[in-house]
């Protein structure tokens, strides 16, 4: 019998989460959570792993994603659940986000170069694996290179909203996201 406990807002290492889907699965089982949703930022790349987790542990996964948008120059996150992940409109939107995140990462890397913290896009992609690149992936590459001691230092000095290498995310109208979901 599946537990009635649920968690419908979980980020994995496929976006800005700290733990892999497998590590999260172990924690879900430990906590008795029977229904969950991986809602990574602008990607559904963790959903295949979520299906495997469900089969292995008898859990229920609701397909999810957290899209980033802006309303009146304020960042807003829109959660989408239960969509058809094979829908062409969903996949076009996700591909757009993937490409835009890659472009943003390259702009951040250019700024890091100016601060004598060179990273290649390949080093960052190694951290992201097949997921859309997020700032935590850049932070992890910085740690590996010895540029910063920990994640928080990378964000405080370079990658955070007030960091010297910050790059704003791209803009997409909320209504576009609503229509796709």
- The side-by-side arrangement of strands in the sheet containing 5-10 is 5-10, 33-38, 60-61
pLDDT reported for residue 16: 83
CA angle 126, 166, 170 (to 5 degrees): 85
Q: Whose CA is closest to 65, among 50, 52, 54?
A: 50
Structure tokens at 136: 């935590």
pLDDT reported for residue 75: 85
Strands, DSSP E only, in the chain?
A: 5-10, 33-38, 60-61, 64-71, 74-81
Asked whether the CA dihedral 12, 13, 15, 18 is positive or negative, the reply is positive
Q: Quickly list DSSP for 82-131.
A: S--TT-HHHHHHHHHHHHHHHHHHHHHHHHHHHTT----HHHHHHHHTTS
pLDDT digits (tens, 9 = 90+) for 1-26: 555 799 999 999 888 888 889 899 88
pLDDT digits (tens, 9 = 90+) for 45-71: 888 888 888 888 889 999 999 998 888
Q: Under a CB-based contact definition with an 8 Å cutoff, are residues 15 and 41 in contact?
A: yes
Report how far residue 51's alpha carbon sits from residue 34's, in angstroms, rounded to the nearest whole number: 13
pLDDT digits (tens, 9 = 90+) for 66-94: 998 888 888 899 999 998 888 999 999 99
Q: What share of the chain is helix, strand, coil (3-state, %, to 5)?
A: 45, 15, 35
The three-state secondary structure class of 154 is helix
State the average pLDDT for the chain: 91
Report how far residue 159's alpha carbon sits from residue 144's, in angstroms, rounded to the nearest whole number: 16
pLDDT reported for residue 53: 86
């Amino acid at each position: 019998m599946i537990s009635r406990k649920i968690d419908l807002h979980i980020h994995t290492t496929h976006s800005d989460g700290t733990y892999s889907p497998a590590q999260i699965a172990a924690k879900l089982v430990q906590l008795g959570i029977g229904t969950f949703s991986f809602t990574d930022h602008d990607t559904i790349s963790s959903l295949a792993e979520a299906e495997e987790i469900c089969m292995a542990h008898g859990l229920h996964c609701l397909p999810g994603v957290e899209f980033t948008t802006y309303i009146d120059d304020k960042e807003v996150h829109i959660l989408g659940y239960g969509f058809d992940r094979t829908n062409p409109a969903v996949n076009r939107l996700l591909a757009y986000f993937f490409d835009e995140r890659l472009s943003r990462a390259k702009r951040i890397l250019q700024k890091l170069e100016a601060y004598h913290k060179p990273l290649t896009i390949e080093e960052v992609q190694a951290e992201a694996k097949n997921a859309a690149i997020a700032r935590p992936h850049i932070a992890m590459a910085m740690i590996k290179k010895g540029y910063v001691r920990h994640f928080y230092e990378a964000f405080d000095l370079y990658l955070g909203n007030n960091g010297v290498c910050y790059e704003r995310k791209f803009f997409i109208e909320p209504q576009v996201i609503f229509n796709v979901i």
